Amino acid sequence: MAEAADFILEQSPGGDGIIRFSGRLAIANVSNLDERLRALGEPVKQIDLSSIDHIDTVGAWLVYRTAKEHDAEIIGADNDAKRLIEAVSGVDESDPVKRVTPSSLNRFLAEIGHGVAIAFSTLLDFLGFVGQVVKAGFVLMLNPSRFRWHAVVQHFDMVGVRALGIVGLMSFLIGIVIAQQGAVQLRQFGAEVFTINLIGRLTFRELGILMTAIMVAGRSGSAFAAQIGTMKITEEIDAMRTIGVVPAEALVVPRVIATVIMMPLLGIYASLMAIIGGGLLCWIVLEIPPSTFVQRLREVTPMTDFWIGLIKAPVFGAIIAMAGCFQGMQVQGNSEQVGLKTTAAVVQAIFLVIVLDAFFAVFFSSIGWD
């Protein structure tokens, strides 16, 4: 067993104190040496290291600190001991490292830059994923036998049939809200009849399909991300690649096709439910009979509004489905990522839908479909 570090305090013939160290001055052997050295009350003029067996950085620091406190001379040190004592003395005498604290403005700009870099990188990755989906679609067109019709039918049920209840209720209530708020404002000018114009144009042109897209993004887009993300965690997608199945063809394309087909149908259904809700409120509050409401609606609502909604619906459906599948494919590591990517899928889909809706509004106005 290695000899523990120790020291004795002797008196020289001149009356000066001498500390003579022995044993191994290493971190595993110093024991209570530090406390004993700090407790020395007598002055020390020399520190003798000639009897030590070994010294490390901790031992060198104890020797150097004791020598500095007593202004003592170190004698009997070999080359290794001298080198270590010189190293620890250099550390002690150097200026302390000052912590650089960035200003609030720098942190703010750094966060903005980091967010922009992530957004740009995500956009590039998403565009690459869209390219993969388009390629997979063309491959399936050339090889119809590889297309999974059963999967498409299953997603018809999940995206469309099971969403009828919530989409219908939401649209019905939105129609009531539009009619009520419009009637309150138009009553000030004695123009309550124009509430029908407001309901018809807003419902078919904008809110019917936009609110449906938001509901589908929150309901089906999140489900796509969670399903595919879970498959990534359980390595099912890796197994599919191993047996020669392309994940984009088996998982993404059926979801995209189902959502693209169901979105126009859900949009028409939502618009009709909103019209019913608005017409009911006009009948009860404004005393406009249903027949008058329908006739006025046909007069003031151009067919272009209906076609605009039908054009936007499949585009929104494709964006929602691909955003959900894209975020699901990004899951890595652990199950926590599934929740994070599911949230990201909903946010990304809603953001892209609103951006595209603004683009469509400007485009259709520029070609005269006001």
What is the per-residue pLDDT across 254-304, written as a single tens digit (0 to 9) for each? Answer: 999 999 999 999 999 999 999 999 999 999 988 888 898 999 888 888 888
Q: How far apart are the first and last CA of the chain?
A: 94
Residue 353 has pLDDT above 90, yes or no: yes
The CATH code of the domain that includes 59 is 3.30.750.24
The C-alpha torsion from 65 through 70 and 74 to 75, rounded to 10°, is: -140
Does a structural domain hold residue 27?
Answer: yes
Please report the DSSP string for 106-146 in residue order. Answer: HHHHHHHHHHHHHHHHHHHHHHHHHHHHHHHHHHHHH-GGG
Pairing outcome for strands 73-75 and 6-11: unpaired
Listed ranges 8-12, 81-85, 276-280; the one with the highest mean pLDDT: 276-280
* Domain total in the chain: 2
- Same structural domain, 244 and 360: yes
Confidence of residue 1 (pLDDT cuts 50, 70, 90): very low
Give the sheet arrangement for strand 44-55, strand by strand. Answer: 6-11, 17-25, 44-55, 73-75
- Same structural domain, 132 and 55: no
Does a structural domain hold residue 28?
Answer: yes
- Same structural domain, 239 and 342: yes
Confidence of residue 177 (pLDDT cuts 50, 70, 90): very high
- Look-up of token digits 């390595």: 235
Does a structural domain hold residue 238?
Answer: yes
Where does a domain end: 73, 93, 113?
Answer: 93
106: tokens are 């720098």
182: tokens are 């419009």
Q: Which residues contact 202 (CB under 8 A, 6 or more apart)?
A: 178
Does a structural domain hold residue 190?
Answer: yes
Where does a domain end: 93, 112, 139?
Answer: 93
Tens digit of pLDDT for each residue in 193-245? 888 888 888 898 888 899 999 999 999 999 999 999 999 888 899 898 899 88
pLDDT score recorded for residue 98: 62
Does a structural domain hold residue 99?
Answer: no
AA identity, residue 250: A
In the chain, DSSP assigns E strands to 6-11, 17-25, 44-55, 73-75
- Same structural domain, 178 and 309: yes
Residue 247 has pLDDT above 70, yes or no: yes
- Mean of pLDDT values over 31-48: 79
Length of the chain: 370
pLDDT score recorded for residue 40: 77
pLDDT > 90 fraction of the chain, expressed in percent and rounded:
40
Q: What is the CA radius of gyration of the chain?
A: 39
3-state helix, strand, coil in the chain (%, to 5): 75, 10, 20
- Same structural domain, 302 and 233: yes
Residue 14 has pLDDT above 70, yes or no: no
Where does a domain end: 93, 109, 137?
Answer: 93
- Same structural domain, 57 and 140: no
CA dist 78 → 20, 32, 44, 70, 81 (Å): 14, 24, 21, 21, 5
Does a structural domain hold residue 186?
Answer: yes
Burial classification of residue 82, based on how many CB atoms lie within 10 Å of its CB (0-12 exposed, 13-18 middle, 19 or more buried): middle
Confidence of residue 327 (pLDDT cuts 50, 70, 90): very high
Tens digit of pLDDT for each residue in 121-160? 999 999 999 999 999 999 999 988 888 889 899 999 999 8
- Same structural domain, 84 and 45: yes
Confidence of residue 43 (pLDDT cuts 50, 70, 90): confident
- Same structural domain, 59 and 168: no
- Same structural domain, 179 and 262: yes
Task: State CA 263 to chain mean position distance.
Answer: 27
Task: Note down the domain range covering 86.
Answer: 6-93
- Same structural domain, 246 and 169: yes
- Same structural domain, 74 and 140: no
More confident residue, 93 or 268: 268
Does a structural domain hold residue 316?
Answer: yes
CA dist 109 → 100, 113, 117, 118 (Å): 17, 6, 12, 14
Mean per-residue pLDDT of the chain: 87
Q: Which residues contact 99 (CB under 8 A, 6 or more apart)?
A: none
Does a structural domain hold residue 189?
Answer: yes
Confidence of residue 323 (pLDDT cuts 50, 70, 90): very high
- Same structural domain, 209 and 89: no
pLDDT score recorded for residue 187: 85
- Mean of pLDDT values over 322-341: 89
Task: Average the pLDDT over each of 54-58, 116-120, 158-162, 213-217 and give the range with the smallest value.
Answer: 54-58
